Structure formats: structure tokens, C-alpha cells
Amino acid sequence: MNSEDMFDCWIEPEEPYDALADNYVDDFEFGYEENELPKSMRRQRRYVPSAVLLDRIPPQNLDAEKAILGIYLVHPEKRNLDEDICAEMFYSGINERIFSAMYDMEHLDWILLAEELKSRGQLEIIGGVDYLAELHKSGLAVNPEHLQDYIKILRDKSFRRDLIHCLTEKLRNAYEPSEDIKEIVESLSKEVLDISKRL
């Protein structure tokens, strides 16, 4: 398969693109209209080509993600909405949804969280109360004083994925004769600088 075919055809997701990670390709990347894809595949920012091109799993640490959410559940006083993290930093689409719900809640425990996710139509999507119980168990198993260490891991993996996404996109553009090389380089410099400012 040549480089053009790689980006023009649908690639059936394999691990780690499973139901837990819920990380699928952007609709436009393979020329699909939005209404042609199942809803579960209409994910923003999640990107198959870089993993296919590099033949490697994108940087991620699901244990750290679960530890962060678990600590918030068990020790809600540790939850700081001004923390320098956001939902998009989670590799797992399930964990991303849970963090988004947590972020919007004034009071937090697993019962209230389950109700919030249910009101959003997402409780079953994230695995139901069983997965929330798993997160709660994870929060009990880890040291809450290590929260900042888990957040550091989360941010590091997220920035690495952003950089891989950026470089892969520019590599693809560089193969296109119609793309202006100066614009590619300028865009690359700007996006890499933007990532460096968030480190």
C-alpha cells in the first residue's frame, strides 16, 4: 500500500482502537461524510493514520487516567477545576467523557456521577456503574498524594500524541505536490511552538 492509499481507504481499527479507548479516525481523514459513519466512530482529534504510518501504539497510560478519576471519586476535595488538564488529554474516550461530567459537577460522588452520566445518555456507553465502581476501587488502591505525578503522566502522553499528530499531518502534506512547502514548514513551526508553550 502506498502513502496515498494509506490515507484514502478505510482501515479497520485494531487494538488499541477498542471499545474502551474509543479512539477512532476523524471523519474527513478518509473522505467519509459524517452521516456515513456509525456514531461511535465520530470522534474528534482521534487519528488512525499516525499509528498506521509509524506502526506503533500512540502514547498513553490508562492506569494513570483511571488513577486520576479514581482519586477524584474517593477524595473529591482533591478535585481542582483549575488543574492544568482538560478532557481531551485523556486517551480513553470513556475516561474523557467521565472527566467532562466531573468537571461540570458542583458536588461529586459515584452516585451523583452516575446520575449525571445517565442524564447525558452516556452511562451505558462508559460501562455503567460497574466501570465507576472500578474507578472507585482504583482510587482506593493508589496514594492520593501522587495525584500530581499521575497528572504529569497524563499531560506528557497527551502532548506526545499531539506532536505525533502534527508531524504525521505535515508529513502527509509534504507528499502532496499541490501543497506549498513554505506553508507546510511555517504551519509546522507554528503548531510545534504552540505545543511547546503548553508544556
Per-residue model confidence (pLDDT) at position 120: 97
Q: Which residues contact 20 (CB under 8 A, 6 or more apart)?
A: 62, 92, 94
Give the CB-side neighbour count of residue 195, counting CA atoms within 13 A.
19
The answer to pTM > 0.85 is no
The total number of structural domains in the chain stands at 1
What does the pLDDT average to over 38-61?
60
**2 falls within a domain:** no
Q: Encode pLDDT of 165-179 as tens digits.
A: 999 999 999 999 999
**144 falls within a domain:** yes
Structural domain boundaries, residue 72 = 62-149
Domain at 118, CATH number: 1.10.860.10
Q: Are 50 and 165 in contact (CB under 8 A)?
A: yes
